[in-house]
Structure 1
Amino acid sequence: MRIAITGAAGWLGRYVTAALETSHELVLIDNVAPEEATIFDPSAPGGRRRLPLSPSWPYHHLDILDDEGLSRALTDVEVVVHLAGRPTGEWENAKATVMTNIVGTFNVFDQARMAGARRVVNASSINAFGTFYWRVSGRSPMHRSLPLTEDEPVTPEDPYSMSKATTEVLGATFNRAFGFEAVNLRFAGVWSESTYDAALDAGLPATKEWADDLFQWVHVLDVTQGITKAALVDTVVPVPITLAAADTRAPEPTLEVLAKLRPELIQYLCEPLPKRAGLLSIARARTFLGYEPRYSLDAAVRDLS
């Protein structure tokens, strides 16, 4: 199969390339030259580190807003894995975020459709819920159902969260209008391999305060697994699908954390939460993609007594 990857020079794009290239023909797309490529690195200044890319596949240096360039790059492509985007929620960057994440994603769907592709795997985010990061009002989100599922109405307060929720509407629209296959994947907070290994070495600290992000996380290789499955599975659905870990970042049992810090939420539990079960549902990913996280933080739990 011929698969195109946008944002291919980035951190996650490289993982997806490595996962797919052994069995598929790839087309790589990014708006930076390979020799100038950078990757996400929270320990680096500005959160990015320069890491030149030496592509083994056709590489198209172009912006996803470039109609003609994108059309040429998607020639004979069957599936597009769309990872390109602006991951910032600050209002001073709102227009650029909207242009890249909404107009750019529309262009990816439209050019893929016109080029004869059959599917776009769209990198959304749990930010689409609107309750995790960049809460402009400063108010804590209100949850009336836990674990949190994709059926929760979206309530964004920032440009990035709004843009990700809108890309999911785009995918569903193309599906309804043209029968075009769209998979909208909401990534949880993605941990690098080094972040995960450091947590195993140091152990998880005892939980002292509530986290509005529901203590969610996911290993980069589990996200890569989910993306790969979404690209290759026989049938797909255009509804949002969350890719997260099956546990939390808290070392204590999840019900114990709730009882201690947010007892009023216990009445809203919709299913049992054994041991350190996650507060972010991955039931859809399991049902529609056959996704099952391989990484947990069980080995980072120490004797808290």
Structure 2
Amino acid sequence: MQRTLLVTGAAGMLGRFLLRRPPEGWALRLSDVAVPEAAPGEDWRQLDVTDPVATAAACDGVDAVLHLGGVANNLAATRDRLIPVNVGGTRNVLDAATAAGVRRVLLASSNHAVGFHRRPPGGRPLPDDVACRPDSLYGVTKAAMESLGGFYADRYGTEVVLLRIGSCFERPTSARMLATWLSPGDFCRLVGAALRAPVTGCVPVWGVSANTRRWWSTEGGDALGYHPRDDAEAFAAEVPPEPAEQVPAAETVGGSFPAGTR
């Protein structure tokens, strides 16, 4: 029996990646503030997650939610929207999922929720569940999203997976991304694993590919059955070297964010 996955923010880049490779056994209910022209067989709905009534309607009858909707940058032009959309919108999604009896919610968090953490000494990998240390106001909203996920897991028994996404693009374009890249294919594999795996409580997992230069743990992904296949090293010859003044930023999870944002 096919189940239904509500995807918020589905018109964005990650949503478009998922459309190419939807999780097996799931029908996608796609939603965004601005709805694109639908291809045959696509189910699109207009949704602003800051509207609790509309969010409740979108959650009605679904089996799980992938919450990608939000403001995805830290620019001054959008900063006033970060908290209402990323925090208030996440609360509305979790409220609506709870009211609709939806058990599994995947929240698109970010490496910037923990961006002030540095590379551990001795080559040890950074754990999936490292505590939040946001590196920007954007990172603060992602840390708040994670806290909301933990609260709803504890209070209502919602099964929450926090996807701590690295750098999800078609290909890596910087030296940092050789460590933090999450390929489109691996993003879709991560979503599929997060939907299939048994989950208790609120579980954080790094959203990163099988990169040779990766220094984030694989344990969270292993526990979910997430097995990335792609390696940014395949693109290393095409990536320009990091300017000397930016090399220290490679030691922090958030890259240049800790040094360059307020």
TM-score (norm 1): 0.69
Match of 2:252 in 1: none
* SS of corresponding position for 2:60: coil
Pick closer, same or farther for the CA change 1:25–1:169 going to 2, 3 Å: same
Q: Report the alpha carbon displacement of residue 22 of structure 1 after superposing the two structures with TM.
A: 5.8
**Does the Cα contact within 8 Å between 2:210 and 2:229 map onto a contact in 1?**
no
The one-letter code of the counterpart of 1:123 is: A
Pick closer, same or farther for the CA change 1:167–1:55 going to 2, 3 Å: farther
- 2:69 maps to 1:84: yes
TM-score (norm 2): 0.79
Q: How many residue pairs are counted as aligned between the two chains?
A: 233
Match of 2:214 in 1: 278
Give the gaps of 5 or more residues in structure 2. 238-262
After TM superposition, list the pairs within 5 Å mapping 1:191-230 onto structure 2: 191-192=169-170, 195=171, 215-230=179-194
The one-letter code of the counterpart of 1:190 is: C
Give the one of 143, 159, 165 matched to 2:137: 159
Instruction: Choose between structure 1 and 2 for higher RCO, CA contacts under 8 A separated by at least 6 residues.
Output: 2
The one-letter code of the counterpart of 2:9 is: G
Write the distance in 2 (CA, Å) between the matches of 1:218 and 1:84: 18
Give the one of 57, 61, 69 matched to 2:42: 57
- 2:148 maps to 1:148: no
**Does the Cα contact within 8 Å between 2:179 and 2:232 map onto a contact in 1?**
no
CA offset digits 1:101-122 (Å, max 9, x no partner): 1110111011111012111110
Match of 2:242 in 1: none
Match of 1:273 in 2: none
RMSD: 2.5
Match of 1:71 in 2: 56
Write the distance in 2 (CA, Å) between the matches of 1:301 and 1:163: 32
CA offset digits 1:15-36 (Å, max 9, x no partner): 223433763232111100314x
Q: Report the alpha carbon displacement of residue 285 of structure 1 after superposing the two structures with TM.
A: 1.1
- 2:105 maps to 1:169: no
* SS of corresponding position for 1:215: helix
Give the one of 200, 208, 226 matched to 1:244: 208
Q: Report the alpha carbon displacement of residue 217 of structure 1 after superposing the two structures with TM.
A: 1.4
The one-letter code of the counterpart of 1:20 is: P
Write the distance in 2 (CA, Å) between the matches of 1:142 and 1:291: 24
Write the distance in 2 (CA, Å) between the matches of 1:162 and 1:142: 17
Write the distance in 2 (CA, Å) between the matches of 1:151 and 1:26: 29
Match of 2:107 in 1: 122
Give the gaps of 5 or more residues in structure 1. 36-52, 132-140, 248-275
The one-letter code of the counterpart of 1:233 is: A
